[in-house]
Amino acid sequence: MSDPAGNLTAGDPQGGPLRSDASPTGEPPVGEPRIGDEAAGSGRASAGGEVVGAAPASTYRVQFTPDFTFADAEAVVDYLDALGVGALYASPVLEAVPGSTHGYDVVDPTRAREELGGESGRVALHKALKRAGLGFVLDIVPNHMAVGHDDVNQWWADVLRHGRGSRYAKYFDIDWDSGPLLLPFAADEESEEEHEHYRLAFWRRGNTELNYRRFFDITTLAAVRVEDPEVFDATHGEVLRWVAAGEVTGLRVDHPDGLADPGGYARRLRERAGVWLVVEKILGADERLPVSWPVDGTTGYDALREVGGLFVDPAGEAAFTALAEELGVPTDFAAVEHECRDLVARTILRAEVRRIAALVRDADREEAERAVAEVLVNFPVYRSYLPEGLDAWTAAVRAATSPAARELDRQVRAEPHGELATRVQQTSGMVVAKGTEDTAFYRYTRFVALNEVGGAPDRFGVPPEEFHARAAAREAGSPTTMTALSTHDTKRSEDVRARLAVLAELPGEFAESVRRWTAAHPIGEPSLTMLAWQSLVGAWPITADRMRAYLDKAAKESKVRTTWVDHDEAFEAAVAAWPEQVLSGPVAAEVASFVERIVVPGWSNALGQKLVQLTAPGVPDVYQGSELWDLSLVDPDNRRPVDYEVRRRLLDRLDDGWLPDVDDSGAAKLLVVQRALRLRRDRPELFRGYRPLEASGRTAPHVVAFERTDLIAVATRLPVGLANAGGWGDAVLPLPPGEWTDVLTSRPADPSLAGMLDRYPVALLVRGDR
């Protein structure tokens, strides 16, 4: 909608010039955080109307480990400052299981982790960030804590000693009415032990008899009842102390779908911590965050799907479907997804299903279990947030065939905040995540660039019109939500997906290659075969060890021939031998030759999607190391050490005026990241509003462009098709009035796309007459 002056307001994809009534801001004083939202310096209003802290201009995610500590992060603060980063975005830093490489297994939320440098190291890092003017965004884990048959977690150890009488008994979500706490940590049945307050049981019993809530199917991560105010205070007190001291300027909430009342939790956290707040909520393609949540937005998987999809050619879908069918890979995603969700509900998450079924009154227990499983399997989204999300709940119930589903439905509707409804809600996301992301995505391997967290593998690409509409909606409704392209949880890095997107433009060539390569090196399982060749091409060059570890995980996650608990040793041995056989044989040269054919258009896609993410509405995150090319696969491959000295040297050269070629060094990507992040930090007033720009000419569909305030982002899309058309020809991008300069090259903007994009496949234009 336009305002009375005819200016385009946020969220309107049509209309006249963008509003430009904000004055530029200068450099902040030393020690003051640099901020990039439109309420710079004064905070902004949350959904509840209270004034909350300003959003960072951008974030840079780092994974803290015993090998990358607070001191190591402190040593790269100057580099992050030079890159233009607004805030360091940290993985969890509270005391965790010794040796943990991720920090999500917290054992003591009352202190900073000693292996990272403890409290003194944390404070030293804060001081370095403050001197540089960077914020500190912290990942917190309210849903669970690490537990075991030991005393690493003192709260849990006290529960084992005192049972229901422990002061910490109510901290954990334990069903005490079912008898002693069952600990499925024994190596075999002969090692089972009976104790006063717990039973040490064979580990296999955890998936069927567990009487405490856990994180997914991980029995060593016990759920915490943060809905209890006392438990909330105990688990959040230290972090809130850091917030109050100004040492934490933003929070990222892990796995809110596991909480009893995510909205209530968000409100309590917002009341106690008036800082930027995002939640790791995985949204469906057409789903939005509940409007009642007082948060800034998500951690960006929704934006990832939209941005990445822009660079996928839908014309390649039929050929990929045909190849999948030829190899024996399933091509009905809905059927695969349903089958995989049903599998996890009946096996690895059966304990959760049984606990819910026991709460269904007036129904046969076995029939109630079937009804609960059917409803969970058929959820159209991760969680429906009753009573607001009644449509999703209704859809799931209607798909169930068990007569007990009617009684389940009646009770949930009668008490939408009762224990039964709450446990269904907490478990639905577990079934969806384990069934879809961690199983179906490894079986439905038709085109794996789409098989991403928050992705929609059956939607082959995102049309520019859809992208623009969603970007405008984001600017209007959640302009300070996070956006991301790579995370510690993505199935493959942004640059791997960018290269794989090229295959959608060359489906015939890839299909012929896969047929030939598979004949020489069969794996014996169709879905894994299709995944293996795409992964090899996407991450090339890759060592046999990295490829072996990836395929081992993929084979077990798919649960087709082998699993994490029930092994087919012969098949696993064949999979383990495959990478070395391929890389040491003649097929390796063919793969290298094929990759050489697609690497340059892959770089074009990578630069395009990065520029779009960095300049579109939202707060962009850069995952550690991904400012250069990063050809990583799923964790732990994507958590390898980052060489910051290489990045520092390249950044110094950029500051000396070097314009790098688009080549193996990745310096061109560093240039794009640096220029965009510095603009966000130093000139936040440029990043308001949103308006699509349309090019004219025969090759106009190969460019995506949009205008913010006095800023235009331009990116090449579908580069193979563009090359086949002979280049840009006479295509033109009409520019709004003014003198526009490409900040990547420092040249005046040329409206002809052949001139504008002759140096790089992207352009970042800034108007200099205002």
For the residues of 732-757, what is the DSSP string, one character each? Answer: B-PPPSS-EEETTTTEEP-SBHHHHT
Q: Does 251 map to a domain?
A: yes
CA distances from 275 to 237, 294, 487, 499 (A): 15, 11, 22, 37
Same-domain pairing of 349 and 412: yes
Cα separation, 570 vs 146, whole angstroms: 34
Q: Are 129 and 202 members of one domain?
A: no
CA dihedral sign of residues 336, 338, 339, 343 = positive
Query: 508 phi and psi, to 5 degrees?
Result: -65, -45
Q: What is the CATH number of the domain that holds 75?
A: 3.20.20.80
The Cα–Cα gap between 540 and 499 comes to 10
342 plus 373 within the same structural domain: yes
Per the CB < 8 A criterion, the answer to whether 289 and 298 are in contact is yes
Asked whether 100 and 77 are in contact (CB, 8 A), the reply is no
The domain boundary, picked from 406, 421, 443, lies at 443
DSSP state of 641: P
Q: How far apart are CA 768 and CA 734, in angstroms?
A: 17
pLDDT of residue 684: 98
How many CB atoms are located within 10 Å of the residue 739 CB?
A: 12
In terms of domains, do 152 and 176 share one? yes
**pLDDT at residue number 48:** 38
Residues 434 and 404 in one domain: yes
Q: Is residue 482 a part of any domain in this protein? A: no
Q: Any idea which residue has 């392209």 for tokens?
A: 485
123 and 252 share one domain: yes
Place of tokens 């800082």: 275
Q: Write down the pLDDT at residue 770.
A: 43
Q: How does DSSP assign 179-191, residue by residue?
A: SSEEEEEESSGGG
Task: Report how far apart the first and last C-alpha atoms of the chain are (Å, whole number).
Answer: 24
Q: Is residue 235 part of a domain?
A: yes
> Do 281 and 430 fall into the same domain?
no
Give the total number of structural domains in the chain: 3
Quickly list H helices, 584-643: 587-615
Rounded Cα distance between 194 and 197, Å, is: 8
Residue 702 maps to a domain = no
Tell me the C-alpha distance between 443 and 168, whole Å. 42
- Read off φ and ψ for residue 751, nearest 5 degrees: -60, -25
Unique residue bearing structure tokens 């968000």: 266
- Domain match, 121 and 156 both: no
Q: Which of 504, 499, 498, 530 is nearest to 517 (CA)?
A: 530
Contact 137, 56 (CB under 8 A): yes
| 193-194 vs 198-202, strand pairing mode | antiparallel
8 A C-beta contact, residue 604 and residue 761 = yes
Look at residues 443, 461, 478 and tell me which one is the last residue of a structural domain: 443
Residue 558 within any structural domain of the chain? no
Asked whether the beta carbons of 58 and 680 are under 8 A apart, the reply is: yes
Total residue count of the chain as it appears in this document: 770
> How are the residues of the chain apportioned to helix, strand and coil, as percentages rounded to the nearest 5?
45, 15, 40
* Residue-level pLDDT at 769: 56
The domain of 219 spans 146-223
Q: Examine residue 364 and state whether it is found in any structural domain, yes or no.
A: yes
Answer yes or no: are the C-beta atoms of 135 and 54 closer than 8 Å.
no
Using only C-alpha atoms, the chain has a radius of gyration, in whole angstroms, of: 26
Q: Which of 394, 412, 443 is the last residue of a domain?
A: 443
Q: 347 with 434, same domain?
A: yes
Tokens matching residue 211: 């009487």
pLDDT block averages, 10 residues each, the chain of length 770:
31 30 30 32 41 86 99 99 99 98 98 99 99 98 93 95 97 95 92 92 94 96 98 99 98 98 98 98 94 97 98 98 98 98 97 97 94 97 89 94 96 96 97 98 99 97 98 98 98 99 99 98 98 99 98 98 97 98 98 99 99 99 99 97 98 98 99 99 98 98 98 99 98 97 97 98 88
DSSP summary character for residue 434: I
206 and 251 share one domain:
no
Helix (H, G, I), strand (E, B) or coil at 199: strand
User: How does DSSP assign 377-431, residue by residue?
Assistant: HT-SSS--TTTTTHHHHHHHHHH---THHHHHHHHHHH-TTSHHHHHHHHHHHHH
Kindly tell me the sign of the dihedral angle through the C-alpha atoms of 193, 198, 200, 206: positive
Contacts of 245 (CB under 8 A, 6+ apart): none
Q: Are residues 201 and 257 in the same domain?
A: no
Can you give the CATH number for the domain in which 211 is found? Answer: 3.30.1590.10
Q: Measure the CA–CA gap between 257 and 265, rounded to whole angstroms.
A: 11
- Residues 79, 159 within the same domain: no
So what's the pLDDT on residue 36? Answer: 32
143 DSSP assignment? S
Residue 9 lies in a domain: no
- Asked, for residue 705, whether it belongs to a domain, the answer is no
Residue-wise burial string across 129-161, b where 16 or more C-beta atoms lie within 10 A, e elsewhere:
bbebbbbbbbbbbbbbbbbbbeebbebbbbbbe
Task: Give me the phi and psi of 579, to 5 degrees please.
Answer: -60, -45
